Amino acid sequence: MKKSICLYFQVHQPLRLRLYRFFDIGKDSHYYDDFTNRTILSRVAEKCYLPANAMLEELIKANKGRFKVAFSISGSALEQFDRYAPKVIASFKRLADTGCVEFLSETYYHSLAALGSEQEFKHQVEKHAQAIEYYFGVKPVTFRNTELIYSDSISAMVYELGFKTMLSEGARHILAWKSPNFVYNSCLQPKLKLLLRNYTLSDDIAFRFSDKGWNEHPLTAEKYISWVKNALSTDDIVNIFMDYETFGEHQKASSGIFDFFKAFVNQVLYENSIEFVTPAQATKKHSSVGDIEATDPVSWADEERDISAWLGNDLQNDAFGKLYDLIENLSIANDEGLWSDFGHLSESDHLYYMCTKFFSDGAVHSYFNPYDTPYEAFINYMNVLSDFSLRVKEKVKLK
């Protein structure tokens, strides 16, 4: 049996908040920076989504369907594609029509609902599945939680929702001596198969590809394939998971990232000893080799591979707690507009901007942060949340 490579790309764009001052509370309930959202979405569409989708479509057709890949596209991104870049939706539909692309399920708003409210988590997963079926005509069968966050308790919720395959991070502290290059299963739900990210091989492309200070720079397709083959010499599958914005946005086109990826795919398929599989195909092809236990949540972020990037300080925990404390009143109010704003305020990005980890992973956090300091992010978010809370209370009174 051939060894396998599973490629998965995350596509997400948050709805960024405008500068919202204390004096706006109770007077202006438009929270979003429409100009910035449109500008960034349009830029990334031109640099990444459109050329990268064209590249994948070309690879699928040229290799007669032997090249396969998976995407998870947040509902927040889909809404903005509809609003600002409908060509991107059309290009993803063409990929869907090839039959070689699997679209994964996730929380609609790229949220931490799995850690805040089981009720809201299930709602967002169902809402996202409906959106994927609406746009691409397929029902997701594989689950990928926001930021690959996984724990035993989350696996139980995911299995209850009907999924048999889930993606997560191959974190050392849950794997111990084990390799990430096998299929595993949840210790609570043995029928839920797990695919774990090989973070070394994934980050070689996502973070280190254009780093001239890296001792392996420049990264060639031949060199990278040799590393993949070495990993598969005794193991079953290499899971390469990364942000889709790696292509053309984080790694500029001038770095050679597109040419590298095409050469990598074509050479793998030419040698014919390894095949590309989607996550659903991977867990059908390869049997589980054992349980994975994760009492505490793991993620794909930072060196710690935990949730401290989002819930690692008092600012973040205060904002998170106050937002999810509104769930009961939101249910009473039952207002579609309020639920939509709640969803966008639950996007994990807002908490990420409040991160105070300035050491080993500070540079990564700075790249993705539109605020000068985490405290500015917190103040702006809490001003918005104060206005939102007033609207919820007012709606409940009217009920």
Catalytic site positions? 147
The two tokens of residue 50 are 């459109």
Torsion angle of C-alpha atoms 155, 156, 161, 163, degrees rounded to 10: 50
248 Rama class: left (phi>0) / alpha (psi -120 to 50) / beta: left
- Rounded Cα distance, 123 and 117, in Å: 10
The residues near 267 (Cβ < 8 Å, ≥ 6 apart) are 221, 222, 225
- Rounded Cα distance, 37 and 33, in Å: 6
The DSSP bridge partners found for residue 169 are 197
φ and ψ at residue 237, rounded to 5 degrees: -150, 140
Cis peptide before 218 (omega within 30 of 0): yes
The two tokens of residue 21 are 């001052």
- Rounded Cα distance, 104 and 102, in Å: 6
DSSP string, 9-41: EEE----PBP---GGGTTT----B-HHHHHHHH
> Can you tell me whether residue 6 is helix, strand or coil?
strand
The one-character DSSP state at 46 is I
The two tokens of residue 68 are 């396969």
Closest by CA position to 325, among listed 311, 307, 298, 346: 346
Closest by CA position to 166, among listed 138, 125, 123: 125
Closest by CA position to 193, among listed 248, 257, 237: 237
